[in-house]
């Protein structure tokens, strides 16, 4: 809007008078320049109001989804630590190791008897959480 028009755009061009003098229409030029200036100011105000409305709408969307995003990233962080094999701190790790070894021996013993893999409860929960995270990621980036 601003800077598009040149300075001489408001000049009114008419034929010269019969006696050879140049016809000047100062009043018409001043009124035209004033109207164009008022138009520029009104357009600037309208564009600023549109910009404010867009920024306010975007900010409101962010505020509305803040809790959902917080829960999404909190769950993602939890899943990072839950997926680790040994999560217990140092003294409790020694209690966990024999359980892991017994579980490994039990799996080895019953391995030939297994026809189909059966998902454990933790695997199902992990898959449900991963599906939820993927769904939230799709919503987040769309």
Same structural domain for residues 99 and 83? Answer: yes
pLDDT of residue 75: 86
Residue of higher predicted confidence among 122 and 11: 122
Same domain, 27 and 39: yes
Same structural domain, 76 and 119: yes
76 and 18 fall within a common domain:
no
Q: 110 and 54: one domain?
A: no
Q: How many CB atoms lie within 10 A of CB 120?
A: 9
Greatest mean pLDDT among 23-27, 38-42, 50-54 lies in 50-54
Q: How high is the pLDDT of residue 54?
A: 97
Domain identity same for 4 and 19: yes
Higher pLDDT, 131 or 16: 131
Q: Are residues 79 and 140 in the same domain?
A: yes
Specify the residue for token string 């909190």.
74
The share of the chain scoring above pLDDT 70, in percent, equals 75
Q: Are residues 87 and 115 in the same domain?
A: yes
Q: What is the pLDDT of residue 108?
A: 79
Quote the domain boundaries for residue 4: 1-63
d(CA 140, CA 68): 10
Q: What is the mean pLDDT of residues 15-30?
A: 75
| 99 and 125 belong to one structural domain | yes
Residue where one domain finishes, among candidates 48, 63, 78: 63
pLDDT tens digits, residue range 50-99?
A: 999 999 999 999 898 888 888 888 888 887 776 555 566 777 777 777 87
Q: Could you tell me what percent of the chain has a pLDDT over 90?
A: 15
Residues 30 and 97 in one domain: no
Residue-wise pLDDT tens digits, 93-107: 777 778 778 888 888
Are residue 84 and residue 139 in the same domain, yes or no?
A: yes
- The number of domains in the chain is 2
List helix spans (H) across the chain: 26-64, 66-82, 90-110, 121-141
| Whether residues 73 and 142 fall in one domain | yes
């Amino acid at each position: 809007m601003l800077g598009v028009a040149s300075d001489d755009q408001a000049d009114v061009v008419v034929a010269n008078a019969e006696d050879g003098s140049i016809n000047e229409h100062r009043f018409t030029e001043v009124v035209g320049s004033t109207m164009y200036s008022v138009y520029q100011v009104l357009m600037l105000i309208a564009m600023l109001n549109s910009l404010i409305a867009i920024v306010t709408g975007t900010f409101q969307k962010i505020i509305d989804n803040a809790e959902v995003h917080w829960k999404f990233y909190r769950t993602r962080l939890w899943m990072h630590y839950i997926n680790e094999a040994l999560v217990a701190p140092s003294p409790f790790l020694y209690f966990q190791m024999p359980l892991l070894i017994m579980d490994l021996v039990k799996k080895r013993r019953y391995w030939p008897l297994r026809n189909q893999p059966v998902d454990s409860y933790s695997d199902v929960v992990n898959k449900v959480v991963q599906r939820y995270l993927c769904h939230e990621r799709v919503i987040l980036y769309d």
